[in-house]
A and B are shown apart, each in its own frame.
Chain A
Amino acid sequence: MTFPVIQSVLDGAALAAELARRFDIAPPVKCRLISRGMNDIYEVRSAHGRHAVKVARAGKADDAAFDYEQAYAQHLADAGFTVPAPMIGRDGKGFFSVDAPEGRRQIAVMKWLDGTPLTKAMSADDARRLGAFLARLHQSVENFNPPSPRSPETERKINERLPALVEMVADDPQSAQFLRHTASDVVARITAMDRAAMPFGAIHGDFQYANVMATPGGALATFDFSDCGQDFLGRDIVTFFWRSDFDGVGDALNPAFVAGYQSIRPLTPAELAALPLFRVARHLLITASMAEFVNRIGPIPGFDGKLADYIAMIRRFAPASTK
């Protein structure tokens, strides 16, 4: 009997053959795995040049949710942003699905982006520019008509993954209690927010700087829409905060990022008031996700810190009432 598995890597040769069959790309088609994380990313070379292929993690999204993601990327591309726009297959669709041993996985061929991913080694001016870029991204999706509904479901995921985190700190009952209490409080407060109280629409979902690159021409490009969906726009701001907090540059970069954002789209008072809550929710989500998925993917960049550091960040940003 086959041993149970929770993640797999598709055979590159079989994948190349499948792509050649489904997409208008000329042989020889060569796939090279360039990133193995929650999703697997391949570089595909063919007589038609280079493309990126994403093989989504099983269980991350159903086909309808993945369709939203592709439509979002296409909408941004149509609006003039440099993003990995989906390539349309011979069947007129922007992706297909296969059954992997651990479950169903969606596969999309996308435009290849040349450029250098941004890192924490950026100036406040760079962060300001990034903030303005995100605001323009948000402005551009005001007329986005998604093919199906999709929400990042941050609060549901926090609730679902929290037990794995609590189990990880089983030998520290005080931390376990703090995490349970904070998660319960934060989830309840965000769930009670009125959707009409703040700008709401399609968000990137993971606008950390590792998902933004500088193109050779000096423009900014963004990718990895795995966590996109309909949510409060302000939540995208705290995805940037999370990564800079994690890398120890939050105090230096976050104010400039927000100033840059506001130079294009001023935040409402309600949004400004909600940011601290969104921020701690983001820290809770990432920490609980790390606990949930570390046995699937092992430590990877952004998921490789010490648990104590993650929890210290949650403590730092948690509402005073839960500390």
Chain B
Amino acid sequence: MAFPVIHSTLDPKALKAEIARRYVLAEPLDCRLINRANNDFYEIRAGRERFALRVAKANFRPDEAYAYELELLTHLHQSGCRVPVPLRARDGALFFTVEAPEGVRAIAIFGWLSARPFTNKLTAADAADMGAALARIHIAGRTFRTNYHRAVNNSAYVKQHMPALSDMLANSPEDRAFYLKAEALVHDAYVKIARDDLPKGQVHGDFQFANVMRDADGAIAALDFDTCGEGFLAEDIFTFIWRSDMEIRDEAVNEAFIAGYQRVRPLSEAERRALPVLRVARDLVMCTTYAILINRVGPVAGFDGNFADFTVLARRHLAMTGLA
């Protein structure tokens, strides 16, 4: 009997044959693995065209979540935002699924973005441009209509996955106690935030610098909408700030990002009040995500630090909320 596995790499030759059958793609067709992480990415060359193919991780989201994401991307593209455009298959579908040894995996093909990804060397001016781009995505999302449902709520996510973090920290009782307490405090704070009627809409879900690019004409492009959905818009700000806190560690960059965002979409008073709680909520999202995914992907960019660094941020930001 085969040993249980939690992730696999699909055979590119079989994948190439499968997409040739399902999509209208020019020849010669080539399929090459370019990134193996939570989701696996392949570069597809079809004649003179280039595409990115994503094989999503198994057992993580229902089909409805992928349908939602791909429709949102199509909408954002039609609204003028620079994002990867999903390619429709011969049958009109935006994705298909295969049975991998670890479970069902959704596969989608996107137009290739040839822009340059940002790194932790980005400047405050870059951050301001990125903040403005995120705000434009939020505004474009206002007119998005879909029959699918996909909600994002950091507090609920953390509550769901806290048992995995607690289990991971079985040998670190002090840290485990801190996270359990932090989760409870953030949960209570979110109950109050919900009462404040914080603006909701289409969020990117992971607007960290590695998922943002600068195109040759200077425009900002965003990719990886894997964790998108309908949620508090202001939560998205901290998807940028979390990675910035981990790798850039310059508050001026964070401030520039928020200022750039507000140039396009000013934050409400309630949103500004909620920022400290949203920041620690993002920290907890990343800590619990680390716990549930580290054994699937191992250390990858943005997830390759010592877990102690995650805890330092969460402790600091919880203290800043005044909740503890």
The closest CB in chain A to the CB of B307 belongs to: A32
- Closest chain B CB from A59 CB (angstroms): 13
Please provide the chain B residues from 168 to 224 with a CB less than 8 Å away from any CB of chain A in the complex: 168, 170-171
Interface residues of A in 275-323 (CB under 8 A from B): 294-299
Q: Assuming A8-B8, A11-B4, is B99 touching A2 (CB within 8 A)?
A: yes
Give the complex CA separation of A8 and B105 in angstroms.
14
The answer on a CB contact under 8 Å between A99 and B11 is no
Complex contact B5–A10 (CB within 8 A)? yes
Q: Does B93 count as interface, using CB distance less than 8 angstroms?
A: no
What sequence of 0s and 1s flags, for each residue 1-33 of chain B, a beta carbon within 8 Å of any chain A beta carbon?
111111111111010001000000000000111
Q: Is the CB of B14 within 8 A of A3?
A: yes
Q: Mark A198-210, 1 if CB is under 8 A from B, else 0.
A: 0000000000000
Q: Does A101 contact B (CB under 8 A)?
A: yes
Residues of A within 8 A of B171 (CB): 28, 30, 45
A residues 1-50 with Cβ under 8 Å of B?
A: 1-12, 14, 18, 28, 30-36, 40, 42, 45
- Please state if A5 and B101 are interface contacts (CB–CB under 8 Å): yes
Please pick, from B35, B101, B168, B170, the residue contacting A8 in the complex, using a CB distance under 8 A.
B101
Q: Are B2 and A99 in contact (CB under 8 A)?
A: yes
Q: Are A33 and B294 in contact (CB under 8 A)?
A: yes
B5 touches A100 (CB 8 A): yes
Given contacts A296-B33, A298-B36, 18 further A-B contacts (CB under 8 A): A2-B99, A3-B10, A3-B18, A3-B105, A4-B11, A7-B9, A9-B295, A10-B3, A14-B3, A34-B298, A36-B297, A36-B298, A40-B298, A99-B1, A100-B3, A101-B101, A295-B33, A298-B34
22 intermolecular pairs with C-beta atoms under 8 Å apart: A2-B99, A3-B10, A3-B99, A6-B9, A8-B8, A9-B295, A10-B5, A11-B3, A11-B6, A12-B6, A12-B295, A30-B171, A34-B298, A36-B298, A40-B298, A45-B171, A98-B3, A100-B5, A101-B5, A105-B3, A297-B9, A298-B40
10 closest A-B pairs by CB: A12-B295, A36-B298, A298-B36, A5-B8, A98-B3, A9-B7, A4-B11, A8-B5, A11-B4, A33-B298
**Residues of chain B whose beta carbon lies under 8 Å from any beta carbon of chain A:** 1-12, 14, 18, 31-36, 40, 98-102, 105, 168, 170-171, 294-299
